[in-house]
Amino acid sequence: MQVLVLNSGSSSLKFQLFSMPEETIICAGAIERIGFTDAIFKFSSNQINIETETKILTHKAALKLVSKNLLDKKEGVLKSADDINIVGHRVVHGGMYFNDTVEITADVKEKIKSLSSLAPLHNPANLEGIMVAETIFPSAKQVAVFDTAFLQSIPEKAYKFAIPNEFLTEHHIRVYGFHGTSHKYVSEQANAFLGNTESKIITIHLGNGCSMTAIKNGKSIDHSMGFSPLDGLIMGTRSGEIDPSVLFHLKDTLGYSMKQINTLLNKESGMLGLTGYSDLRDIELKASEGNDDCKLALEMNAYRIKKYIGSYATILNGLDAIVFTAGIGENSSLIRKLVCDDLDFLGIQLDEAKNDLRSQSIRAINTKDSKVKVLVVPTNEELEIAKQAVQLFVN
């Protein structure tokens, strides 16, 4: 069985083609910086390894580029689009509709569309990916795996907002949380590495979108994002946590429309708003060259993460490990260092030599004396999506 997994982020598209159930990767790749003229396209298989810079302004264009390379007569890995049995899609917001993986129908697509206002950077791209994939791979079963599913175990005391009850019961306004597929995968990998399924860990997913989850005995109990992916940590273009009164001030005093506020907080804030750059690699480079805005933004980013570590260590009533994952979490030794500095009180001590080493494997980067393990766990949302998609039909 061949399973193509499409993982659309707010400015990226990752893909992997698996032979299942043996979990063999036939090819893999990614498109980064979607929406820019210098987007990066990566494609690798046994036959070829491509990395090139090109103009890709939309997720639709990105998916068409992926399919073109998959089906290329000389260097592709598919003889026909009919070779694909299942296309597994990451969908960010499932709302109250979806607690598990589902086969995509017209009704499912309509519900995903209806939730787009709650995840404006993601659900529209996820839905577009589904619709394009249906035309390119018409004989394949299309499956949706929701970011919100793993976070359904968060207790009511953590997911309920302190507003009148009817907003939850009638309008389903609550904390949903996101990046659940990644948090699930890396927490399971971390538990296997620790040899302890009854662990207390904090998973820190840092990419263009950023989130943290408190996980106790394999179950999520709290999460930094909320009703939408806008809340919590400072992100590439999203503000993260902000006093709601700022929104009233923007509208009532500064004359912003609600649409302008939505655009401001989702697309013009975060690291982009602080520095003029949304890519952390650019920000780290400029900071090293003395750019004060970039240096401060990095400090703010790490400071916000530290606050959540302290909060989650409290509700977990202890801590066995913190886990860094995703593009920034796996690759930025600087961010990991800034986060772990001055956390001795919690028993977190970083080994800087280990932190500076690069590896594609799970590894511990703490000192021998550190009471809390500091792990770098490469995420593989695509494999997790493939496994869940196949399991849907096995059952």
Q: Are residues 202 and 136 in the same domain?
A: no
The chain-wide mean pLDDT, for the chain, equals 93
Q: Is 69 annotated as a binding residue?
A: no
154 within a domain of the structure (yes/no): no
Asked, for residue 32, whether it belongs to a domain, the answer is yes
Question: Which of 128, 146, 164 corresponds to the end of one domain?
Answer: 146
207 annotated among ligand-binding-site residues:
yes
Together in a domain, 120 and 207:
no
- 3-state SS track over 47-72: CCEEEEEEEECCHHHHHHHHHHHHCC
Asked if residue 77 belongs to a domain, the reply is: yes
Q: Clarify whether residues 21 and 132 are in a common domain.
A: yes
Residue 10 has pLDDT above 80, yes or no: no
**Residue in the block written with tokens 């249906």:** 134
pLDDT > 90 in the chain, percent = 72
Whether 246 is in a domain gets the answer: yes
* Annotated binding-site residue? 262: no
Residue ending a domain, among 129, 146, 163, is 146
The CATH number of whichever domain residue 235 belongs to comes to 3.30.420.40
Task: For residue 211, give the nearest of 189, 190, 231 by alpha carbon.
Answer: 231
Q: Is 144 left (phi over 0), alpha (psi -120 to 50) or beta?
A: beta
Pair (122, 228) in one structural domain:
no
Residue 95 and residue 232 share a domain = no
147 labelled catalytic: yes
| 236 marked as part of a ligand binding site | no
Task: Say if 176 falls within a structural domain.
Answer: no
Q: Which of 147, 222, 231, 320 is catalytic?
A: 147
Say if residue 215 is in the same domain as residue 128. no
The whole-model pTM stands at 0.84
Residue with structure tokens 């990614």? 30
C-alpha dihedral, 165 to 168 to 173 to 176, nearest 10°:
120
* 168 known ligand binder: no
Structural domain of residue 297, as residue ranges? 195-376
Domain assignment present for 116: yes
Same domain? 262 vs 141: no
Kindly state whether residue 171 falls inside one of the protein's structural domains.
Answer: no
Asked whether residue 91 is assigned to any structural domain, the reply reads yes
State residue 194's pLDDT score: 94
Count the domains in the chain: 2
Q: What is the pLDDT of residues 114-164, one digit of tens each?
A: 888 877 878 888 898 898 889 889 999 999 999 888 999 999 999 999 999
Residue 395, pLDDT score: 62
